[in-house]
Structure 1
């Protein structure tokens, strides 16, 4: 009979389902026992702990949070017993924001409720905050910044209006240009009320497959966006919808840490929601543990092409097999079957170029896929834009690639690189 460590991570009771998972490790404290890496840790208000058999002895158990933080607990495993190892993250500022707290998009409750110093703001830019620091739940000094946010849902964006050229033109438009009306096909868009205002400083918006929860809007198309206007900035937020039956959250954080994002998008997918955050960090090996666990589901029918694309980013980023792989046919189906998904063409291009080994046919096909990806419009994934820029840059003497590279590179300057999905700051407030 062996010892067992029963591991889980607790979120605020009642705030989240109990089937989400993150990644962690079990390490022998004295190096005399076998360690276990990339274990899955269930998360929720009252999740059942996952048992891991170990040899008797002392261990250090770690939980790698999607935010990049690592929690650790010491545990003594006793022969014939099950030892509980509970991590806690119950200090979310609001129960409704527990998922955002787990993803690392919001500060602990003490920051928002007066028991800790407010974070220090930094100059507004695509990779920084949108509001000056203030006393908890109090006014901004000198009322320099209006702590309100206006969100407008664009349910059906025509392909021509989410092209690189169209979005760059909108970013260069004079202040006051109506972004929502310029992007959508059905007028000025649908104003969206927050699911939870979070004391007005952290409004949270939730979306289902057909658009905002609790709001009646127009038809939902293949590209949906949210236009967020806050503190002098206008952001065009890519909504990864539909994502099967899962909901998508958009958090507008008007008082966040200097390293946090002003707007964050998270998918409430218990299987791979945390994996998307690992993907945004660049922790592809960690993300791979979650995507590999549900790989067959992702690709069996490509019912969720956005999730399948995320899985392909992880696979290509971690598997450098030069020859054919078991997932190459899935990648071809993803690229060919969803012409509105620029990420599918980006993934095909990168795969072809990496495995080409100088083969002119694969190089040419990869080059053509890059051009196709660009012409499909801005991608869903931030990593996709980065890979597109890198790919086009590999053909500096090709006029068609060089022209597209210029526009893709200029668009990348507007992107919040910490977010998994493309968020563009179209009106950078300058000081």
Structure 2
């Protein structure tokens, strides 16, 4: 048998699959062994370890969590043996929340259930959804209603997804239910998930047919979740459908470890963590998980949202000049799904970044992307703003840039999918 380190990470489980893959490193501690960068670490309740051949010696193995936290374990590789290196993250506050815990969206059990108060962050952007919604003159310790109303929009009206419509929602103040202004049909209020009596961090799950365990109306091409609590309103983009994979929405009514009051995660075993890396700007790490972008873009366009994610990572890490073999795939993504503005954004930004002499085509692509409506991905909104900024003398681009930039001020830029805070007046 060769000398190797067998690496894996354990998560708690509520009797369901919670498999994932994250990125890590193997570094020689005595400077005599072989270091390995960007290894893949299987995660789950009983994951099969990934074996990495090394030379005998002492090593420090690190696991880079999507939250930015890095775990480390020491290991001694013995000649002719496979040495186990087990990371343990089984201290999620609830087994149902283990995926969110891995993503860094909720605290460990010892912190979450501690009687000690969590200090309130000074930054408005990092304050809890309830604290941010409260009047500035509220007395410390004043009672706050820790409940949330979650309304599912199974099919948004196409006109409601425009930048102008979204900005209008943010200006309208405490108007009627936001969901009714967006939905094509009838929105549905969801019951609070039963999580052992805990309602402070409700977790909602969605599958191809809508809420897990309670599918309802036929779903459309664009779905949202509206989360309302204590005067605060978040409009949450649901990245659906994502094949047969479930999507989780965590509503954190207490102080969030990331600062995001609402977090969206796709429970995709292969690339779910990659989406979180992408939102943190760690595109090189995300690229280690999006290894099959060719298949996503060319042969598997039945999941265009996954293809778009792969394209964001590809464009963000491959700075090739001139036309590449994968540029036509971006055309296919952009042309095949007109209601997904991300495809048009990706194609236009690629034209700008590769130094194409045809700037008019890039300009027209950015205008087309804007006119399709808001993107699914937060990174798409950032790239759209950046792209439109490249045409400061074009009145059509300037007008659209103004709206896109103002919408970006309402977006939670820490999240992979677009989440808009439509009621920020009380926090300013």
| TM bin (shorter chain) | over 0.9
- The CA distance in 1 between the partners of 2:248 and 2:377, in whole Å, is 16
User: Quick one: structure 1 residues 250 and 104, their matched pair in 2 at CA, closer, same or farther if it must change by over 3 Å?
Assistant: same
Give the superposition deviation at 1:82: 1.1
Q: Secondary structure at the match of 1:131?
A: helix
Q: Could you tell me the TM-score, scaled by structure 2's length? A: 0.94
- The CA distance in 1 between the partners of 2:400 and 2:125, in whole Å, is 22
Q: Secondary structure at the match of 1:292?
A: coil
Give the superposition deviation at 1:293: 4.9
User: Which is further off, 276-285 or 173-182?
Assistant: 173-182
User: Which is further off, 141-150 or 315-324?
Assistant: 141-150
Q: Secondary structure at the match of 2:41?
A: strand
- The CA distance in 1 between the partners of 2:160 and 2:242, in whole Å, is 22
Give the superposition deviation at 1:214: 2.1
1:33 correspondence with 2:40: no
Structure 2 counterpart of 1:406: 402
- The CA distance in 1 between the partners of 2:125 and 2:419, in whole Å, is 9
Structure 2 counterpart of 1:80: 80
- The CA distance in 1 between the partners of 2:336 and 2:237, in whole Å, is 21
Select which of 382, 405, 411 maps to 2:378. Answer: 382
User: Which is further off, 271-280 or 168-177?
Assistant: 168-177
- The CA distance in 1 between the partners of 2:299 and 2:366, in whole Å, is 26
Q: Secondary structure at the match of 2:402?
A: helix
User: Which is further off, 321-330 or 295-304?
Assistant: 295-304
Structure 1 counterpart of 2:60: 60
Give the 5 Å matches for 1:188-203.
189-197=187-195, 199-203=198-202
- The CA distance in 1 between the partners of 2:330 and 2:56, in whole Å, is 45
Give the superposition deviation at 1:209: 1.2
- The CA distance in 1 between the partners of 2:289 and 2:297, in whole Å, is 11
Contact 1:12 1:45 in 2 (8 A): yes
- The CA distance in 2 between the partners of 1:28 and 1:293, in whole Å, is 30
- The CA distance in 1 between the partners of 2:14 and 2:84, in whole Å, is 21
Alignment root-mean-square deviation, CA: 1.9
Q: Alpha-carbon deviations, 1:132-176, whole Å to 9, x = none?
A: 49xxxxxx9644421000000001112111100001011100313
Q: Secondary structure at the match of 2:290?
A: helix
User: Quick one: structure 1 residues 301 and 322, their matched pair in 2 at CA, closer, same or farther if it must change by over 3 Å?
Assistant: same
User: Quick one: structure 1 residues 125 and 411, their matched pair in 2 at CA, closer, same or farther if it must change by over 3 Å?
Assistant: farther
Contact 2:66 2:276 in 1 (8 A): yes
Contact 2:192 2:199 in 1 (8 A): no
1:208 correspondence with 2:207: yes
Structure 1 counterpart of 2:291: 292
- The CA distance in 1 between the partners of 2:297 and 2:120, in whole Å, is 40
Structure 2 counterpart of 1:136: none
- The CA distance in 1 between the partners of 2:149 and 2:360, in whole Å, is 45
Structure 1 counterpart of 2:136: none
Return 5+ residue gaps in structure 2 as ranges.
Answer: 133-138
Give the superposition deviation at 1:113: 1.7
- The CA distance in 2 between the partners of 1:329 and 1:81, in whole Å, is 47
Contact 1:93 1:113 in 2 (8 A): yes
Give the superposition deviation at 1:215: 2.1
Structure 1 counterpart of 2:241: 242
User: Quick one: structure 1 residues 266 and 196, their matched pair in 2 at CA, closer, same or farther if it must change by over 3 Å?
Assistant: farther
Give the 5 Å matches for 1:5-404.
5-14=5-14, 17=17, 19-114=19-114, 117-122=116-121, 125=124, 128-132=127-131, 142-187=141-186, 189-197=187-195, 199-257=198-256, 259-293=258-292, 295-297=294-296, 299-357=298-356, 359=357, 361=358, 363-404=359-400
Q: Secondary structure at the match of 2:291?
A: helix
Q: Secondary structure at the match of 1:324?
A: coil
Contact 1:225 1:238 in 2 (8 A): yes
1:430 correspondence with 2:427: yes
Give the superposition deviation at 1:388: 0.3
- The CA distance in 1 between the partners of 2:421 and 2:266, in whole Å, is 21
Give the superposition deviation at 1:301: 2.7
User: Quick one: structure 1 residues 83 and 283, their matched pair in 2 at CA, closer, same or farther if it must change by over 3 Å?
Assistant: same
Give the superposition deviation at 1:213: 1.4
- The CA distance in 2 between the partners of 1:163 and 1:297, in whole Å, is 27
User: Quick one: structure 1 residues 294 and 315, their matched pair in 2 at CA, closer, same or farther if it must change by over 3 Å?
Assistant: closer
- The CA distance in 2 between the partners of 1:413 and 1:380, in whole Å, is 16
Q: Secondary structure at the match of 1:63?
A: strand
Contact 2:173 2:423 in 1 (8 A): no
Structure 2 counterpart of 1:137: none
